[in-house]
Amino acid sequence: MGMLCAVTFNRYGKLYYLDPGEFRPRVGDKVLVHTDDGPEVADCVWAAEWSEEDTSGFPKVIGIAGPDDVNRDELIRQRKAEARVAANRLIREHQLPMKVIAVDHVPGGPADGDDPGPSPRTTVYFTAPHRVDFRSLVRDLGATLRCRVELRQLSARDSAKVQGGIGSCGRDLCCSTFLTEFEPVSIRMAKEQDLPLNPMRISGACGRLMCCLKYEHPLYSSSSTNELTHGQRVTTVDGEEARVVSRHAPSETVVLRMASDGSVSRCKVADTCGARRAYETRDK
């Protein structure tokens, strides 16, 4: 048990849960968060409060952002906006099939001692239908921004992870919240889950098969409903003949259409509908 607060680096962006430590940030406060590129300013959107979760593994708030930190963060945001505008303009001039997805900027500055510190660096993330020769673009972009420039091509899934969004389930995209690695997803998983093979229904925001198809695949693979197929004739425990209309693996049930009156009913596989081959009737 410990205290947690939630912060975000962008308005309406992804939430990050932190251990406030000795600090008690309130909603609207700007706090410092440790990142790979050094401390960054984030907005507190959920005030620190007690949680039943074990907070020992959560990153901690470094401190409350001061005026210098806020000014530095505003400068970084301006540099990102300038870099995005310059990148889009130069891409059009070079007639390259590229789309800018995100921009990161790490400002340079003096370090302790005689070391002048790292030089400023701007990273532009983009998507393209194929590999692109962007050497001349990097040269012109570096001259325009007057800093070191890196261009990184993202795949369709990585692009969705960076941009974020809302899935068809109404929740934040899995890739932008908790997924750290992309596992392979095949069309066979959709078939085994009796999903319609309509690309609009089983594709995610990235245009590829939804990652969540992988989650329930083991359940469907081991379900007893696999013993029955669509259209198969079965005999219920009441002695009535019927055909299988659909299967529902999570509840271990099937929907049957009765041969006598055409009515539809749902029943348990293990109790009534062919978990035992004795109830099965072969088509002649």
Residues 33 and 92 in one domain: no
Per DSSP, 260 falls in state: T
Are 17 and 30 within 8 A, CB to CB? no
Q: Is residue 202 part of a domain?
A: yes
Residue-level pLDDT at 179: 79
Residue 147 and residue 83 share a domain = yes
Same domain? 235 vs 267? yes
Domain boundary among 13, 37, 65: 65
Query: What's residue 91's pLDDT?
Result: 94
Can you tell me the distance from the alpha carbon of 249 to that of 244, in angstroms, rounded to the nearest whole number? 14
Strand, helix or coil for residue 55: helix
In a domain, 284, yes or no: no
pLDDT at 275: 39
The model's pLDDT over 146-174, given as tens digits with 9 standing for 90+, comes to 889 999 998 888 888 888 888 888 888 88
Domain assignment of residue 10, yes or no? yes
Q: How many CB atoms lie within 10 A of CB 125?
A: 19
Residue 238 belongs to domain spanning: 228-279
pTM exceeding the 0.85 threshold for the entire prediction: no
The rounded distance, in Å, linking the Cα atoms of 248 and 250 is 6
* Domain finish residue from 15, 32, 65: 65
Number of domains in the chain: 4
Q: What is the CATH number of the domain that holds 132?
A: 3.30.300
Q: Which two tokens stand for residue 209?
A: 């098969």
pLDDT value for 280: 42
**Domain annotation covers residue 223:** no
- Residue 262 sits in a domain of what CATH number? 2.30.30
Spans of the chain, pLDDT less than 50? 110-114, 273-284
Question: 52 with 79, same domain?
Answer: no
Cα 138 to chain centroid distance, Å, stands at: 29
What pLDDT is recorded for position 269?
74
Would you say residue 138 lies in a domain? yes
Tell whether 26 and 45 lie within a shared domain.
Answer: yes
Give the domain-ending residue among 101, 126, 154.
Answer: 154
